[in-house]
Amino acid sequence: MAAARHSTLDFMLGAKADGEAILKGLQSIFQEQGMAESVHTWQDHGYLATYTNKNGSFANLRIYPHGLVLLDLQSYDSDAQGQQETDSLLNKVEEKMKELSQDSTGRVKRLPPIVRGGAIDRYWPTADGRLVEYDIDEVVYDEDSPYQNIKILHSKQFGNILILSGDVNLAESDLAYTRAIMGSGKEDYTGKDVLILGGGDGGILCEIVKLKPKMVTMARRARARRIFTTCHEWHKQCRQNTVKVDWTRAMKTKVLIEDCIPVLKRYAKEGREFDYVINDLTAVPISTSPEEDSTWEFLRLILDLSMKVLKQDGKYFTQGNCVNLTEALSLYEEQLGRLYCPVEFSKEIVCVPSYLELWVFYTVWKKAKP
């Protein structure tokens, strides 16, 4: 499907806007393009001029009286020539506006055009809600599972990116994530007993088996089966040029296709204990109603059960969320104070390349017995 390109050009004048003069000054530029004008005037709120072109493109010129002038230009399926015409129109408007506002220096801002409705969606907002455009050039995989939408999109710089229901999950560039959730290279996994909760993309498993642990158990929800299958292939590809992974050996580790709650409950009942529990299930919930939200309830349950299967000197690793979501992170830390046993924790801020935001990781351990 062809897409629409939406360009913007903004003028922050240093003085009040003389709407009539600006409209009159710019009119000829749109007329030259054969665009038809229609103007709406507010008594106190300035002007909105709409210019429509026979080819289906249109422009909006919104003049706010105190000195803000915003131009929007939208055109559909524009080829290189169409894009040049758009740029040329924007250049002319910018030039003319400079002429018109000579007495009042101000700011001009032209953003990269937004591509809307294209086959390849490049806009995947950050966890803290900022608009960011990725350099996506290919849709590798896009399917709905019964639980979520699963996408693998190819980014020129980050490689394949796994996107679950619109959230950037992990990219091939993001070894920093896997390293961080394994303790940032400061742990010795040799001969250790490790439990991974979630980790459906297989990245942690793939890295941990290199470190000669005694046993790695991975409990991932059945719903993740499809991601795992998808990502197994992806990871195989992604490691091909760097590290040779013996996936057969990796698969000899225990991978339970089972919701992690019953697994944890069973282990707790059996008195089974691990040196490391790595929770890669989900980020800290953004919602800030821990008393009502079932995600928080799930999180507390997992934490409590994880502490039950963690050795007294064991460590629990997990991701937090974007460093900017301070309220959600504080709430998470509050939950840590409410577990069945007293725990301590430390946190680390890590740059995960494809996230385009800094990410917090937690290490939690049981407080030494007095």
**Binding region for a copy of itself (CB under 8 A):** 1-4, 6, 8, 10, 12, 38, 40, 42, 44-46, 48, 50, 52, 54-56, 58, 60, 62, 64, 66-68, 70, 72, 74, 76, 107, 109, 111-112, 114, 116-117, 121-123, 125, 128-135, 156-158, 173, 176, 322-324, 351, 353, 356-358
Contact, 216 vs 196, CB < 8 A?
yes
Contact, 273 vs 310, CB < 8 A?
yes
Q: Which is nearer to a copy of itself, 18 or 259 (CB)?
A: 18
Q: Which is nearer to a copy of itself, 117 or 191 (CB)?
A: 117
Min dist CB 199 to a copy of itself, Å, is 22
Residue 58 Rama label (left phi>0; alpha psi -120 to 50; beta): beta
Tokens of 203: 């990245």
Active site residue: 167, 174, 280, 304, which one? 280
User: Is 304 annotated in the active site?
Assistant: no
User: How far is the C-alpha of 164 from the C-alpha of 152, rounded, in Å?
Assistant: 9
Min dist CB 342 to a copy of itself, Å, is 29
**Chain centre to alpha carbon of residue 284:** 14
Residue with tokens 């803000």: 68
Q: Which is nearer to a copy of itself, 36 or 257 (CB)?
A: 36
Q: What are phi and psi of 43, to 5 degrees?
A: -70, -40
Q: Which is nearer to a copy of itself, 316 or 355 (CB)?
A: 355
Residue with tokens 């002007």: 47
Strands 149-155 and 159-164: antiparallel
Min dist CB 215 to a copy of itself, Å, is 33
Q: Which is nearer to a copy of itself, 296 or 362 (CB)?
A: 362
Min dist CB 101 to a copy of itself, Å, is 14
Burial class (CB in 10 A: 0-12, 13-18, 19+), 10: middle
110 Cβ contact list (under 8 Å, min separation 6): 7, 8, 9, 10, 90, 94
Min dist CB 232 to a copy of itself, Å, is 25
Positions marked catalytic: 280
